[in-house]
Structure 1
Amino acid sequence: MDVAPVDQREPRRRSGKRTQLPDQVKAYVRELITSGQVRPGEFLRIERIAEALGTSQSPVREGLLSLANEGLLNFLPRRGFVVAPITAEDINDLYWAQAQVAGELAARAAAKITDEQLDVLAANVKQYAQAVKSGDWEAIPEIGLEFHNELHRAAQAHKLVMLFDHITSNLPNRYYSAGNPKHTGTEHPALLKALRNRDAETARQLMFDHILGQGHRLVEILAERGLWADSAQLEEEV
């Protein structure tokens, strides 16, 4: 997993029941926020989100209310939903928490992984390298994510995986995986080597550094996009 430019295309529309739509709205809006496409203090228009997702306004409102409960949005009566402040420290904290859990999962996988699962990961690493070579930016993040999914299956720690997924739900949908494959292209093979050697502590540290570095790179990209420019200017004026 790694940092990539924001995907400007429309989000993939999921098929499913009405009850899934608020979750789709949450994922879409969370992506807008954590990618810097909308900034703290900006109002979100329900009708525009509904149009973008091809749904009615009711599930959009439900999803936005849920995000307000999570603290990503503020709801102002008679005015609507506004993006809540988010800091570089907030993003780094999320990635730090994710890195802690991911590191433990990697350590457990090193102790439990089978030869068959190692072969699956080895094939994944080759597939990732081929996708990078061919410039398949659509497949790259999916392949990178599947590496982690297979590792989590090897760890046999379902509750930890659930915790990991909960933390991940607050991060950009595509993990910004496509834009800097040189990191994943070297870090995943190093993780695979540690897993083959059944070296739990090396796997833990490699995974921790892998995830934490991801967060640092995301903060750098958002800073370059000027996400915190307004707040920095206000501090200078004060």
Structure 2
Amino acid sequence: MSTLADIGGAHRSLSDEVTAAVRELIVTGEVGPGARLHERNLSAELNVSRVPVREAILRLAVEGLVRVEPRRGAFATEVDDAAVQEVFDAREVLESRLAAFAAERRTDADLALLRSFLVTDVPSEASEHRRIDAGFHQALIDAAHHEVLARLMEPLQHHVRRLFWITGGRTGVDMEGHHEEIVDAVAAGDPRLASRRARDHVRAVRRATSGMLPG
């Protein structure tokens, strides 16, 4: 499992670090959908008291990754089709707007970073594929220079990463081609085209993901 040393940052509180560690367990499937989160076990594994673990569970409940049931405990939320569709609904709205802002506000450095995540060959390793995809979308968010939208996207990205892990990220969608089209529109400074291409990309992934959930 991920440790606080792996995840912690120099400027983060213990509560932030524990939240990040527990979140990573859920997002990467080490704690599967519907599985119970035991405060005592987590505090022992992370070598912290139960107080920051309890705080982390409550924070992750707000993010929608944990479900707290009175007198029963805390559980990783289930990942069903209805929940996935809501994630895509939100992603379509936010990412299309972010792409439009990126086309209007991006710097040369932003564009260079976006292009650094464009690959000609699809990585054979799933972990590398996830890294490139997550890096591209984070670079697009950063290129928009919109703090409010960036904050709204942060919890949504965790759900997207979780879905990526569950499905293996192999949707059959030409993600590399879609990413290149989005970058071309951003580079051209065309917000309407960038927005449409980002929206079309999310819709394509939504269609491909339907029916891929286990069970």
Normalising by structure 2, report the TM-score: 0.75
Name the CA shift for 1:215/1:46 in 2 (closer, same or farther; >3 Å).
Answer: farther
Partner Cα separation in structure 2 for residue 85 and residue 148 of structure 1 = 25
2:23 alignment partner in structure 1? 27
Per-residue CA deviation, residues 119-153 of structure 1 (Å, 9 max, x unaligned), is: 4323321xx335x35x3443332232222233233
Q: Return the offset for 1:50.
A: 3.7
1:221 alignment partner in structure 2? 212
Q: Return the offset for 1:204.
A: 0.8
1:128-207 aligned within 5 A: 128-129=119-120, 132-133=122-123, 135-172=124-161, 175-176=164-165, 179-180=169-170, 183-207=174-198
Counterpart secondary structure, 2:169: coil
Name the CA shift for 1:52/1:206 in 2 (closer, same or farther; >3 Å).
Answer: farther
Q: Return the offset for 1:188.
A: 0.6
The total of aligned residue pairs comes to 207
Name the CA shift for 1:82/1:202 in 2 (closer, same or farther; >3 Å).
Answer: same
Name the CA shift for 1:161/1:200 in 2 (closer, same or farther; >3 Å).
Answer: same
1:113 alignment partner in structure 2? 106
Structure possessing the higher relative contact order (Cα contacts under 8 Å, 6 or more residues apart): 1
The answer to whether the 8 A contact 2:94-2:153 is kept is: yes
Partner Cα separation in structure 2 for residue 102 and residue 36 of structure 1 = 28
1:103 alignment partner in structure 2? 96
Per-residue CA deviation, residues 59-83 of structure 1 (Å, 9 max, x unaligned), is: 2222223334556312232x42245
Partner Cα separation in structure 1 for residue 17 and residue 143 of structure 2 = 32
Name the CA shift for 1:19/1:139 in 2 (closer, same or farther; >3 Å).
Answer: same
Unaligned runs of 5+ in 1: 1-9, 227-238
The answer to whether the 8 A contact 2:19-2:53 is kept is: no
Q: Which one-letter code corresponds to 2:51 in the other structure? A: S
The answer to whether the 8 A contact 1:99-1:211 is kept is: yes
Partner Cα separation in structure 2 for residue 39 and residue 54 of structure 1 = 24
Q: CA RMSD in A?
A: 3.3
Per-residue CA deviation, residues 4-47 of structure 1 (Å, 9 max, x unaligned), is: xxxxxx33632354222342244135426xx596344x433233
Name the CA shift for 1:49/1:211 in 2 (closer, same or farther; >3 Å).
Answer: farther
The answer to whether the 8 A contact 1:30-1:170 is kept is: no
Name the CA shift for 1:53/1:187 in 2 (closer, same or farther; >3 Å).
Answer: farther
In terms of Rg, which structure is larger?
1
The answer to whether the 8 A contact 2:23-2:60 is kept is: no
Name the CA shift for 1:107/1:219 in 2 (closer, same or farther; >3 Å).
Answer: same
Identity of counterpart residues, as a percentage? 21
Name the CA shift for 1:22/1:206 in 2 (closer, same or farther; >3 Å).
Answer: same
Name the CA shift for 1:26/1:124 in 2 (closer, same or farther; >3 Å).
Answer: same
Q: Return the offset for 1:211.
A: 2.7
Unaligned runs of 5+ in 2: none
